[in-house]
């Protein structure tokens, strides 16, 4: 990569030894972070999610963080992670993976109903799966790539949704 005029690389010059990723991230001096934001009525910008963490279902954008926050209101839930899974009718559907508080149990339909009562119905999870622990990196961030791999096994291995999942 050749040097540009002063100030050209205030954000970054590129990823170390990753020219393909650099080409995707940098465009005419702009860094594409993959963040999704929205402006409020006063003109303030808020980051609401990551583009690759957004579920596109039936033409609707569903922000995973919004669904995760809604599920997090349920007292039995310690943490939740939401991903998109393939859906033959809608393109993607919402799948929620839950970590429960010690000694807690929860019915998948309760999670779906909770979300349906607090947000637009199309945002509710189609699948709910309880895990002992959400996979995390050394910084504590949930590894959604591992959840996508798990979802591919769980949801494609059976012709109908598993009994611990909820449709509705």
Cα dist. 24→75, 117, 138 in Å?
A: 41, 39, 26
pTM, two decimals, is 0.70
Q: How many domains is the chain built from? A: 1
Cα gap 154→149, rounded to integer Å: 9
Answer whether residue 22 is part of any domain: no
Residue 163's pLDDT is: 40
Answer whether residue 38 is part of any domain: no
Answer whether residue 110 is part of any domain: yes
Answer whether residue 166 is part of any domain: no
Angle between helices 108-118 and 64-71 (to 10 degrees): 120
pLDDT tens for the chain, 168 residues long, are 566 665 555 667 788 899 898 888 887 777 777 676 778 899 988 776 666 678 989 999 998 999 999 999 999 999 999 999 998 899 999 999 999 999 999 999 999 999 999 999 999 999 999 999 999 999 898 999 899 999 988 876 544 443 444 444
Q: What is the CATH number for 69?
A: 3.30.300.30
Residue 160's pLDDT is: 46
Answer whether residue 101 is part of any domain: yes
**Which alpha helices (DSSP H) does the chain contain, by range?**
19-25, 64-71, 108-118, 144-156
Domain boundaries, position 128: 54-156
Answer whether residue 20 is part of any domain: no
Cα gap 139→38, rounded to integer Å: 27
Answer whether residue 130 is part of any domain: yes
Answer whether residue 133 is part of any domain: yes
């Amino acid at each position: 990569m050749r040097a540009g005029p002063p100030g050209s690389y205030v954000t970054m010059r590129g990823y170390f030894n990753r020219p393909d990723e650099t080409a995707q991230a940098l465009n005419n001096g702009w860094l594409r972070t993959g963040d999704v934001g929205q402006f409020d009525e006063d003109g303030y910008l808020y980051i609401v999610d990551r583009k690759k963490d957004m579920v596109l279902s039936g033409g609707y954008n569903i922000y995973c963080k919004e669904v995760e926050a809604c599920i997090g209101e349920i007292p039995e839930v310690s943490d939740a992670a939401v991903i998109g899974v393939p859906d033959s009718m809608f393109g993607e559907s919402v799948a929620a993976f839950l970590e429960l508080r010690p000694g807690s149990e929860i019915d998948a339909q309760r999670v779906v109903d909770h979300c349906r009562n607090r947000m637009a119905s199309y945002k509710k999870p189609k699948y709910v799966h309880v895990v002992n622990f959400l996979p995390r990196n050394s910084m504590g961030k949930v590894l959604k790539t591992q959840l996508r791999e798990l979802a591919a096994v769980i949801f494609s291995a059976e012709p109908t949704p598993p009994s611990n999942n909820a449709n509705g």
